[in-house]
Structure 1
Amino acid sequence: MDFTAKTLWITGASSGIGKAVAIELSSAKNVKLILSGRNEQALKVTEEVCKQNDCETLVLPFDLGEEASVEKAASYIRKNKIKIDALYQFGGISQRSFVAETPLEVDRKIFEVNYFGTIALTKHILPAMIENGGGQIAVTSSIVGKFGFPYRSSYSASKQALHGFFESLRAENTKNNIAVSIIIPGRIKTNISVNAIDKEGKTHAKMDAGQDSGMSAEKCARIICKKLKKEKKEILVGGTEVIMVHIRRFLPRLYYYMSSRVNPL
């Protein structure tokens, strides 16, 4: 993917990795960025930083957890005949609660945002992307999208579901010139743990120690953008914690031992 003169739609652009990726991409020549998330004011802050690189921007707020809100945003794109060259999805919520204490409504909320909201937007954009001759779609998973992890049951499950969906989408649409990248971050220093929801569906409001010592969002964004440009199918990014992906694959018994004893915070 050559970002030059492309229109790139970035969700989760109000903070964290999504914001950092938007800023990183804003330096591409003649690029147009569509910036989405729930917090319009925060999106405008991202927009102002991007504009310092003479980047054309459009702020389009919506809520991934509300189907009508996703439909409204997609309808705006269709009505204004905006050709989307790439859709990069970073929006989502994490979790901090044990299975036994988490009511089903909290599990459903996590899936509505991380899975159903994400695939709904994809379904709205994909047909036009195919009709236009192709494009790129990237979705953000997590290292716990590759294995189960304490205190993250539905978060992990929602991310694993994204792998199944987008790998299927890729297989179906290779002939349509649709490139699909699954971004797999480890511990990145963002507010994901602060904004995670607990067993009552309330904000966790705490920065995990592991998160606080993680890779910066800016460094993460540079790695992601470099690999998006190369259309890598999986983009694994983080610190030493990403070795757990390889341990789960090649040394499953060691993974089972470690996962039951690891500090989830």
Structure 2
Amino acid sequence: MKMIDTDMKNKVVWITGASSGIGEELVYAYNKLDAKLIISSRNRDELFRVKNNCKNQINVHVLSLDLRDTEQLEYKAKEAQKIFGHVDLLINSAGVSQRSRAMDTAINIEQEIMNINFWGTVALSKGILPYMMANGGGTVAIISSLMGKFGTRQRSAYAASKHALHGYFDSLRTEVFDKNIHISLICPGFIKTNISLNALTGNGHPHGLMDEGQENGMSAAGCAAEIVKAIDQKKEEVYIGGKETKAVLFKRFFPARFSAYLRKAKVT
């Protein structure tokens, strides 16, 4: 298997959602590879906590942002470009999940999920791409989900936002390949993070409960290691997790049986 390129000293990696979960572990993984890091999320205090946990803090720059504020994201991309003079890799890891049935979810909550997971990711990526192209190329990685390949109960808006990412960035890939821009869609399954705790319910309140799948899932550090490997190998799309990743093939080849399975499956 191809080894991960550890010569990252002159590479700049920008990670959103860097204050917790997979994003936080990606910060530590790339910090160990001596990359220069720009770390972003809404929670500035937590970003500094993450920075303080890094071995080489001088190469870690905090840039707080809110993906819901799409009008400001082009400016944030310009600001990120100025920090180290270039950005080689943007990892869009920020996002929010959902735990509510479609008919019980207010439309403004569904719109908020789309604004964070889809429009925020699109706006930030479009903001940095011109700089990457001017610098001779780069990589945009999107942390999607297995829900980007199929949907299930209590995930309607979340699944829609992740499906939208695949449609958009698959299309964008065909338009920028000749500019030396690589796009990677990463689809984690059950990863032990706080995503279910922070998931939005129908009225916008946090779910506040840890799902069984997350509780027993792959560690966030293990997932981050697989993501680093997939990006290094320039994978266009990759599924990370346990046996749940087989659901992608199950749906592809046996769609009716898969739908029947989902109707009976336990979903918390």
When the two structures are superposed, what TM-score results if normalisation uses the length of structure 1?
A: 0.95
Give, in angstroms, the shift of residue 75 of structure 1. 3.4
Provide the residue aligned with 2:246 in structure 1.
Answer: 243
Distance 2:260 2:167 in 1: 26
Provide the residue aligned with 1:42 in structure 2.
Answer: 46
Provide the residue aligned with 1:63 in structure 2.
Answer: 66
Provide the residue aligned with 1:17 in structure 2.
Answer: 22
Judge conservation of contact 2:74–2:128 (CA < 8 Å) in 1: no
Of residues 135, 140, 150, the one that matches 2:138 is: 135
Provide the residue aligned with 2:150 in structure 1.
Answer: 147
Judge conservation of contact 2:101–2:153 (CA < 8 Å) in 1: yes
Give, in angstroms, the shift of residue 148 of structure 1. 1.3
Provide the residue aligned with 1:103 in structure 2.
Answer: 106
Of residues 6, 10, 13, the one that matches 1:8 is: 13
Give, in angstroms, the shift of residue 28 of structure 1. 1.3
Q: Deviations over 1:8-30 (max 9, x none)?
A: 0000000000101110111113x
Unaligned runs of 5+ in 1: none
Letter in 2 for 1:43: L
Mapping of residues 71-220 of structure 1, within 5 Å = 71-78=74-81, 82-220=85-223
Judge conservation of contact 1:27–1:55 (CA < 8 Å) in 2: no
Give, in angstroms, the shift of residue 45 of structure 1. 1.3
Q: CA 1:169–1:256 in 2, change beyond 3 Å: closer, same or farther?
A: same
Judge conservation of contact 1:88–1:137 (CA < 8 Å) in 2: yes
Mapping of residues 223-262 of structure 1, within 5 Å = 223-262=226-265
SS across alignment from 1:84: coil
Give, in angstroms, the shift of residue 53 of structure 1. 4.5
Distance 1:193 1:54 in 2: 30
Unaligned runs of 5+ in 2: none
Distance 1:70 1:8 in 2: 17
Give, in angstroms, the shift of residue 4 of structure 1. 3.7
Letter in 1 for 2:17: G
Distance 1:71 1:171 in 2: 22
Distance 1:213 1:80 in 2: 39
Q: Deviations over 1:62-95 (max 9, x none)?
A: 1111124424422323555731111011000000
Range 41-50 or range 156-165, more displaced = 41-50
SS across alignment from 2:128: helix
Judge conservation of contact 1:33–1:55 (CA < 8 Å) in 2: no
Q: Pairwise CA RMSD of aligned residues?
A: 1.5
Distance 1:19 1:65 in 2: 20
Distance 1:258 1:4 in 2: 47
Judge conservation of contact 2:38–2:80 (CA < 8 Å) in 1: no
Q: CA 1:81–1:44 in 2, change beyond 3 Å: closer, same or farther?
A: closer
SS across alignment from 2:37: strand
Distance 1:69 1:212 in 2: 35
Letter in 1 for 2:165: L
Distance 1:33 1:161 in 2: 28
Give, in angstroms, the shift of residue 134 of structure 1. 0.5
Distance 1:26 1:55 in 2: 11
Q: Percent identity?
A: 42
Judge conservation of contact 1:187–1:239 (CA < 8 Å) in 2: yes
Letter in 2 for 1:49: N
Distance 1:181 1:205 in 2: 31
SS across alignment from 2:183: strand
When the two structures are superposed, what TM-score results if normalisation uses the length of structure 2?
A: 0.94
